[in-house]
Structure 1
């Protein structure tokens, strides 16, 4: 999966789901997405309101709602409840109905709500793919609910799914 931000300081992104077949890697579905309100960073820190640039594995999922058919280990829990409003006043309720943990500063093989931070708490964490609430995030990538459900049903842990994410200029380096 490739997430490309419109610019270093933009919170708007595009997600392209790549699939591997007999002819190699081919781009598939392309979706609009949001990333962090202040854009992207090569050195993410807690509360910098930027999404980390990099290549990360995707090993664990969960959410407030029942598993929609995820092939990744799925943790359904009331701990995924969220309220309040986003940066643009949009309601956050339902944003964590489905999530996929992005393995930035987290322990793979644990629930997305596990707060183990191998790089230390100051480097942030808890960065997920989650349902879009109509505005920018703190550091996560957010997609429409139907696209999150499609990802959960598509990503296969035996295929070692990865996410490449960042603004286009940073990803060229």
Structure 2
């Protein structure tokens, strides 16, 4: 992608992970120091705490693999689209939500129900 926009489509949510311990996730959860990021993102936004918890969005990745795994079946260089902690609001390409909502999401996603995320621009979703 490279355009700092979220992909459009319906994608599975099959794995979670983060710097912090699992806070009740039903999805497979991997805690790892690999979630440590630099101090700023593509547009200079602060990243501290962004990957305390994350849910992998199955866009150009192997479902059920760790959010840190990087095989890209479509050949994209910059897949890695996730739902992650971002108390400052939207995040380029990914979906950023407040930490308290991330914990709620992790507890709500049930792999037995095959959860998905629908991603489109706001105008299309409101139709």
**TM-score of the superposition, structure 2-length normalised?**
0.90
Could you tell me which of 8, 16, 23 is aligned with 1:68? 23
Question: For residues 95 and 62 of structure 1, what CA distance do their matches in structure 2 show?
Answer: 12
C-alpha contact 1:86 1:137 (8 A) present in aligned 2:
no
**TM-score of the superposition, structure 1-length normalised?**
0.68
Other-structure match for 2:57: 102
Question: More strand per residue: 1 or 2?
Answer: 1
Which ranges of structure 2 fall in alignment gaps of 5 or more residues?
none
Other-structure match for 2:94: 140
Q: Is 1:160 matched with 2:93?
A: no
Task: Report the RMSD for the aligned CA atoms in angstroms.
Answer: 1.9
Kindly name which structure, 1 or 2, has the bigger radius of gyration based on alpha carbons: 1
Measure how far apart 1:86 and its partner are.
Answer: 4.0
Q: Is 1:170 matched with 2:124?
A: yes
For CA contacts below 8 A with separation 6 or more, give which structure has more relative contact order: 2
Which ranges of structure 1 fall in alignment gaps of 5 or more residues?
1-44
Aligned length: 127
Question: For residues 172 and 149 of structure 1, what CA distance do their matches in structure 2 show?
Answer: 27
Question: For residues 129 and 153 of structure 1, what CA distance do their matches in structure 2 show?
Answer: 14
Question: For residues 81 and 94 of structure 1, what CA distance do their matches in structure 2 show?
Answer: 9
Other-structure match for 2:74: 119
